[in-house]
Amino acid sequence: MGEKTIQCGNLIGGKWEQRGANGITRLNPANVRDAVAPAPDSSAEDARRAIQAAADAFHPWRRTVPPERGKIVLRAAQLLESRLEEVAQLLTREEGKIVSESRGEVKRAIDIMEYAAGMGRRLGGQTLPTEVPNVFCFTTRQPIGPVAAISPWNFPVAIPCWKMAPALVCGNTVVCKPSPLTPATATRVVEIFEEAGLPPGVLNLVHGGAQAGSELINHPLIRGISFTGSTKVGMAIHMAAARRLAKVQLEMGGKNPQIILRDADLDSAVKSLLTAAFGATGQRCSATSRAIVERKVARQVAERLVEGTKAIRVGPGDRPEVTMGPLVDELRLRDVKGFVDRARAQGAAVVIGGCEPEGLRDGHYYAPTVVDVRPEHEIAREEVFGPVLSFIEVDDIEEALTVANTVDYGLCASIFTKDIG
Ligand code: NAD
């Protein structure tokens, strides 16, 4: 490919460190011969220094007036907009999603940053009546201190932005720890915030995995943790943070159902199903991974679904004709294959896909897959996080709702019907 390697470093107290240290080497998931970025695998000590820098910067930053903080974030949004295409191309090269999806993600990050910037002029409180004479009762919003932003690889531009932008506008300082699978996009995003004019130490970046991450979770100076990622890691973070009463925000996994009832507009339902299940290669927390279909229309839905799935073009995300990119890495590919193989062994029938596509040997590709399953199969209960849709037939809406609700996850769900009642 011959594209340039991105030298990723940590940003601590306004200084870039360890640029190009190759504790982690990120490869292009569409072509593993393309090394995208070496990045440091930060130690607990690196994380501690970043936390201290965020703590040192906190008091001057909280005293910076909120509209001024908002203006810096707005400037970052404008800078990101001016580099939308460059960042989208990098996102595709590093994470694998197709370029149109990458552009959409960068656009979403810009929208969120603009919204958060406006909070600099809206950070109001309330006045409240009181039964005690001559007492004025009011609430005011205060920053909580240095916070940690820990993010996954699947939206490596939008998720860090939706954590950092509001935290900064509200007067907190931030240590950002992105996924080790997407160091290059994280570096670009943080560079843009820095260029927008954040004072040193207000936003810090440490690359790496659980080693740096757990220091952020357990350090007493970190007052709040915003985490997006797997349910398993999120639960462990919640428990660790609770021990020291740190505030926690968690966004975790899903096993999202789409119910299709007999009276639904089937073309519209299947069109939505295809995008929701296979968009971003199914690597979205909000991906539909269960189609729960009334038996009366199951055959029609299945036929349209197979037809739509056949039309999906799998390949490198930077090719204009491609409509679904690779999985993010070898491990994810192995996981997805494991789910489908175990489903077969449990008696589920693969309707379409269930294999690696022909002729795509350089990346981590898997064909869009539909598996006809029973609700008790593992594949119908656990988050697969890949382009695999479980197809479940049910007798009626009551059974559909029971099946939809009998998994451990809850994130999003939809029902296709013409009967709004
Ligand atoms: P992950 O849980 O493996 O990792 C997420 C982040 O946590 C990474 O930065 C990782 O390095 C860090 N981490 C891992 N172990 C840690 C530890 N012990 N202490 C502190 N930090 C630690 O998740 P992932 O594979 O990167 O992302 C995929 C998951 O994210 C899926 O389950 C998906 O559903 C979920 N997700 C949820 C949302 C949402 O909004 N609900 C959005 C996107 C992704």
* pLDDT tens-place string over residues 192-232: 999 999 999 999 999 999 999 999 999 999 999 999 999 99
Pocket lining for ligand 1, CB < 6 angstroms: 150-155, 177, 179-180, 209-210, 213-214, 217, 228-230, 233, 236-237, 251-254, 285, 383, 385, 411
Flag whether pLDDT at 335 surpasses 80.
yes
Relative to the CA of 216, which ligand 1 atom is closest?
A: 20
Ligand 1 mean position, distance from CA 210 (Å): 10
Question: What are the CA-CA distances from residue 177 to residues 17, 186, 204, 226, 367 (Å)?
Answer: 15, 9, 9, 10, 32
Ligand 1 mean position, distance from CA 150 (Å): 8
- The per-residue pLDDT for 2 is 55
Q: In percent, how much of the chain has pLDDT > 90? A: 97
* pLDDT tens-place string over residues 1-34: 457 899 999 999 999 998 888 899 999 999 999 9
* pLDDT tens-place string over residues 295-321: 999 999 999 999 999 999 999 999 999
Flag whether pLDDT at 102 surpasses 90.
yes
Flag whether pLDDT at 411 surpasses 90.
yes
Q: Cβ neighbours of residue 168 under 8 Å, at least 6 residues apart?
A: 69, 72, 73, 116, 174, 193, 198, 202, 203
Nearest CA to ligand 1 atom 15: 210
Match 């690359």 to its residue by tokens.
Answer: 207
**Contact call for residues 98 and 111 (beta carbons, < 8 A):** no
Q: Which tokens belong to 222?
A: 């970190």
* E strands present in 252-372: 256-260, 288-294, 349-352, 369-372
- The per-residue pLDDT for 167 is 98
The total number of residues written for the chain in this structure: 421
Ligand 1 mean position, distance from CA 158 (Å): 14
Residues assigned a catalytic role: 251, 285
- How much is the average pLDDT of 147-155? 98
- The per-residue pLDDT for 180 is 97
Relative to the CA of 383, which ligand 1 atom is closest?
A: 32
- The per-residue pLDDT for 273 is 98
Ligand 1 mean position, distance from CA 411 (Å): 15
Flag whether pLDDT at 376 surpasses 90.
yes
